[in-house]
Amino acid sequence: MQFESLNIIEPILKSLKEEGYTTPTPIQAKAIPIVLEGTDLLGCAQTGTGKTAAFAIPILQLLSANKSFDKKRKIRSLIVTPTRELAIQIAESFNNYGRHTGLKCSVIFGGVNQNPQTAALQNGVDILIATPGRLLDLMNQRHVSLRDIEIFVLDEADRMLDMGFIHDVKKLLLALPKKRQSLFFSATMPPEIVKLANTILVNPSKVEVTPVSSTADTIKQFIYFVDKGNKNALLVDILKNQNIKTALVFTRTKHGADKVQKILVKSNIKAEAIHGNKSQNARQRALSGFKDQTIRVLVATDIAARGIDVDELEYVINYDISNIAETYVHRIGRTGRAGANGTAFSFCDAEEKAYLKDIEKLISKKIPVIDNHPFPLIDHNPEKAPKQQQRGRSHNSSPKNGEGRQSSGRPVNRPSSESKKKWFGKPRSPR
């Protein structure tokens, strides 16, 4: 099937050809005709399936067919998404696919000065992509009106729920016109999400593609069993392979991301870290450098798991295995996108074996193990810190997250029994 067979108008087809797209992904082939009919849509699709184009293309076509002739453009389509990175990338997609339609798109998100965003709104836009907090803020300031919305999209609904945006979403729904077309996308469908969808959609058609419990067949997955203290050394060793042009590395914590980034830079590997504590400008600089390959490695926390969309990204490395099996699927979904090939390496220390077991159960697949590497797992039963030392620590600051004293990047060299005698003196005989 080609895009031409979906009855897409020539200006959009021209843009798609310029972007190098000829064949729609499964969710695009299923969703585009439904949206073009004006029907509400419930889409269940994991990241990397081409979901953005599945709603952007038909929205551009519908708005082009019914252009407004008011002097000032009104916001006729609203796309709400949980993160700044995702909002920016959706806006890029709309601008790319709609460059020949004459429609105007703008994006608003928090963490930056609002003045450039309000100036763009003042000039008038047809399509607005927004994160919930900044959208409500600008609505309260009367910079944004939703009364002319014809098509509403709630994207990454389960992520919205995870990030605590559910109450903001409910406030937004009250400001939308009752007569509208609504599109609802989520990678997972827990009961809370189904309940939310029922409050938004009217007689929707459902499209389900590649449930979250599966990984793309185009992604090669491998496991390295390694001691926690040797993960940095193993990462540097893997990146000696110059065929790895770029790699997205996931850590469990923000602090861990910064530490890994510093180790890589010391090893003369161009790397940047991206997480919630970074300013918006710093995050955008890092992402732009990664996309144009002036930065070889991007070290990220899970805030980026569904927000980074880089064409032809071939390698994802799980420095820390996620303690949530579904998150593993979303992480490695950054590669092997839209049918392309990809490779996912995961570092598993002794304490993470339980997480790996959960992942393999979810994806119904045994992940191949790479044994022949310089830093094999030696300590299969590491001592756990005494409970009194862990009191007062949050889950994210616990040393078991890969940020303990032995994460300096040097291999772990455990003292021999003779060395211990020299350091600690002659062992006492039992009483």
Mean pLDDT for back-to-back runs of 10 residues, the chain (431 residues): 90 89 88 96 80 95 82 92 87 92 94 93 95 95 96 91 86 95 89 91 89 71 96 96 94 91 96 81 85 92 66 90 83 76 94 92 92 90 54 37 36 43 39 37
Distance, CA of 97 to CA of 115 (rounded, Å):
27
Q: Are residues 174 and 136 in the same domain?
A: yes
Tell me, yes or no, whether 420 lies in a domain.
no
Residues 314 and 395 in one domain: yes
CATH number of the domain where residue 203 is located? 3.40.50.300
Q: 408 lies in a domain?
A: no
Question: What tokens does 34 get?
Answer: 């439904």
Output the pLDDT for position 274: 87
Examine the domain organization and report whether 170 and 227 are in the same domain: no
Single pTM value for the model: 0.60
User: 236 is in which domain, residue-wise?
Assistant: 219-401
Are 183 and 314 in the same domain?
no
Alpha-carbon distance values, 230 to 71, 351, 383, 390, 402 (Å): 63, 14, 16, 23, 10
Q: What is the pLDDT of residue 176?
A: 96
pLDDT at res. 413: 44
Shared-domain flag, residues 105 and 195: yes
Question: Rounded to an integer, what distance in angstroms lies between the CA atom of residue 40 and that of residue 69?
Answer: 26
The reported pLDDT for the residue numbered 363 is 87
Residue 429 domain flag: no
Q: Are residues 237 and 379 in the same domain?
A: yes
Query: Among all chains, which residue has been given the structure tokens 């709104």?
Result: 121
Predicted pLDDT at 383: 66
Please state the φ and ψ torsions of residue 22, each to the nearest 5 degrees: -125, -35
Q: Which two tokens stand for residue 246?
A: 């770029």
Q: Which of 156, 184, 209 delimits the end of a domain? A: 209
pLDDT at 398: 36
369 located within any domain: yes
State whether 151 and 204 are in the same domain. yes
Q: How many domains does the chain have?
A: 2
The answer on 128 and 10 residing in a single domain is: yes
Given a contact cutoff of 8 angstroms between Cβ atoms, the answer to whether 374 and 237 are in contact is yes
Out of 158, 175, 209, pick the residue that ends a domain. Answer: 209
Same-domain check for residues 149 and 34: yes
103 within some domain: yes
Distance, C-alpha 215 to centroid of its chain = 15
Q: Is residue 268 part of a domain?
A: yes
Regarding whether 273 and 193 lie in a shared domain, the answer is no
Of the residues 166, 183, 209, the one at which a domain ends: 209
In a domain, 418, yes or no: no
End-to-end alpha carbon distance in the chain? 80
Residue tagged 């980026």 (tokens):
304
Residue 131 within any structural domain of the chain: yes
For residues 179 and 246, state if they share a domain: no
Examine the domain organization and report whether 231 and 150 are in the same domain.
Answer: no
Q: Are 61 and 9 in contact (CB under 8 A)?
A: yes
The CA distance from 167 to 82, in Å, is 13
Which residues on adjacent β-strands are paired with residue 44? 186, 208
